[in-house]
């Protein structure tokens, strides 16, 4: 019960401090999918530049990506780093979409959460964070995304160990919060904002943090 109350209090504190985050930044559902793949292991600004390059070349759609060779896509998404691998991952997604669902994203996303998650995890190069980002932000499925910011913040708050598994972190949230897509969306976005702007890996701005009163990190060495 204590952790249940803590999770709600943390969210309300962040919401009051930062307001609704309105994340993911994209004009279409397809752009969310593409952005989630391009954002793997890189800052969002890098992914944004790659998205803009695709847009300028009329390739910011899953159909266009499906019809374009990876060798053509790769140079355009160079800002996202690991661009050859990410070009292949974009193609892997579109192969599943067009071979399995005739190119209909709504049909793919019409699958239940568990089978859809497994189908995406079976794609080469798709880890849990990327898959869950697609499920939450594009498919609008109620699943909590875990990333490095979440681990850093909640380990510093001494609510869960930093080296706990992805599944353990996900269950920590999903067993204590209602299965609410909008809540999971904004909660994760609040943590991304806090981790990026204030609760940094090095030299965190503890005096500016709205969760400072809860935090154990300020009395410990930097992680």
**Residue showing tokens 């904004």:** 186
Q: Among 157, 174, 122, 133, which residue's Cα sits nearest to residue 44?
A: 133
Q: What is the pLDDT of residue 222?
A: 41
Q: Where are the domains of the chain?
A: 2-21+145-219, 29-138
Per-residue pLDDT reduced to its tens digit, 59-71: 999 999 999 999 9
Burial 42-69 (b: 16+ CB within 10 A, else e): eebebbbebbebbeeeebbbbeebbebe
Q: What is the pLDDT of residue 223?
A: 43
Relative orientation angle of helices 166-174 and 148-156, to the nearest 10 degrees: 70
Per-residue pLDDT reduced to its tens digit, 86-105: 999 999 999 999 999 999 99
Q: What is the pLDDT of residue 4?
A: 74
Out of 1.10.1040.10, 3.20.20.300, 3.40.50.300, 1.10.340.30, select the CATH number for domain 29-138: 1.10.340.30
Instruction: Indicate the DSSP class of residue 43.
Output: -
Instruction: Return d(Cα 83, Cα 197) in angstroms, integer.
Output: 26
221 pLDDT above the threshold of 90: no
Report in angstroms the alpha-carbon separations of 170 from 151, 167, 188, 209. 10, 5, 11, 24
Q: What is the pLDDT of residue 7?
A: 96
Per-residue pLDDT reduced to its tens digit, 32-86: 999 999 999 999 999 999 999 999 999 999 999 999 999 999 999 999 999 999 9
Q: What is the pLDDT of residue 213?
A: 92
Per-residue pLDDT reduced to its tens digit, 21-30: 988 989 999 9
90 CB neighbour count, 10 Å cutoff: 25
Residue 81 region by backbone torsions, left for phi larger than 0, else alpha for psi between -120 and 50, else beta: left
Q: How confident is the model at residue 216 (pLDDT cuts 50, 70, 90)?
A: confident
219 pLDDT above the threshold of 50: no
For 2-21+145-219, which CATH class? mainly alpha
Separation of CA 113 from chain center: 16
Task: Report the mean per-residue pLDDT for the chain.
Answer: 94
Instruction: Return d(Cα 92, Cα 88) in angstroms, integer.
Output: 6
């Amino acid at each position: 019960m204590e952790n249940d109350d803590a999770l709600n209090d943390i969210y309300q504190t962040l919401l009051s401090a930062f307001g609704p985050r309105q994340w993911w930044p994209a004009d279409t559902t397809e752009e969310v999918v593409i952005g989630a793949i391009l954002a793997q292991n890189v800052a969002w600004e890098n992914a944004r530049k790659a998205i803009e390059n695709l847009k300028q070349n009329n390739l910011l759609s899953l159909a266009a990506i499906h019809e374009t060779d990876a060798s053509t896509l790769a140079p355009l998404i160079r800002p996202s780093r690991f661009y050859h691998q990410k070009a292949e991952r974009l193609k892997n997604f579109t192969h599943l979409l067009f071979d399995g669902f005739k190119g209909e994203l709504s049909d793919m996303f019409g699958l239940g959460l568990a089978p859809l998650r497994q189908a995406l995890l079976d794609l080469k190069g798709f880890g849990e964070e990327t898959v869950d980002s697609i499920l939450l932000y594009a498919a609008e499925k109620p699943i909590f995304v875990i990333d490095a910011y979440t681990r850093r913040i909640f380990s510093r708050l001494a609510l869960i160990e930093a080296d706990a598994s992805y599944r353990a972190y996900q269950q920590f949230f999903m067993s204590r919060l209602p299965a609410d897509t909008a809540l999971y969306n904004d909660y994760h976005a609040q943590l991304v904002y806090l981790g990026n702007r204030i609760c940094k890996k090095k030299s965190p701005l503890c005096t500016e943090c709205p969760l400072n009163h809860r935090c154990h990190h300020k009395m410990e060495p930097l992680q």
